[in-house]
Amino acid sequence: MRNKITVIGAGHVGETAAFNIAKLELGDVVLIDIIDGMPQGKALDMFEASPIFPFDANIKGTNDYADTAGSDVIVMTAGLPRKPGMSRDDLLFKNMAIVKECIGRVAKGSPDAILIVISNPLDAMVEVARRVSGFPKERVMGMAGILDSARMRAFIAMELGVSIENTHAFVLGGHGDSMVPLPRYSTVAGIPITHLLPQERIDAIVERTRKGGGEIVSLLKTGSAYYAPGIAAAQMADAILRDKHKILPCAAYLEGEYGLDGIYMGVPVQLGRKGIEKIIEIELTEEEKAALYKSADAVRGLFEKFPDDLK
Every domain of the chain and the residues it spans: 4-142
Q: Is 175 a catalytic residue?
A: yes
Q: Would you give the distance in Å from CA 293 to the centre of its chain?
A: 21
Provide mean pLDDT across the span 144-173.
Answer: 97
Taking each continuous run of H as one helix and of E as one strand, the counts in the chain are: 9, 14
Provide the mean pLDDT of the chain: 95
Are the CB atoms for 181 and 169 separated by under 8 Å? yes
- pLDDT: is 51 or 81 the higher one? 51
Percentage of the chain beyond pLDDT 90 is 91
| Structure confidence at residue 22 (pLDDT) | 98
| Structure confidence at residue 223 (pLDDT) | 85
Give residue-wise pLDDT tens across range 169-186.
999 999 988 999 999 999
| Structure confidence at residue 88 (pLDDT) | 61
Split at pLDDT 50, 70, 90, the class of 311 is low
Within 10 angstroms of residue 84's Cβ, the number of other Cβ atoms is: 12
CATH topology of domain 4-142: Rossmann fold (3.40.50)
Residue of 12, 175, 195, 245 marked catalytic: 175
| Structure confidence at residue 308 (pLDDT) | 82
Give SS3 for 86.
Answer: coil
First to last CA, the chain: 39
CA-derived radius of gyration, the chain? 19
Split at pLDDT 50, 70, 90, the class of 91 is confident
Give residue-wise pLDDT tens across range 6-46.
999 999 999 999 999 999 999 999 999 999 999 999 999 99
Give residue-wise pLDDT tens across range 251-270.
999 999 999 999 999 999 99
| Structure confidence at residue 119 (pLDDT) | 95
Peptide bond into 111 cis (omega under 30): no
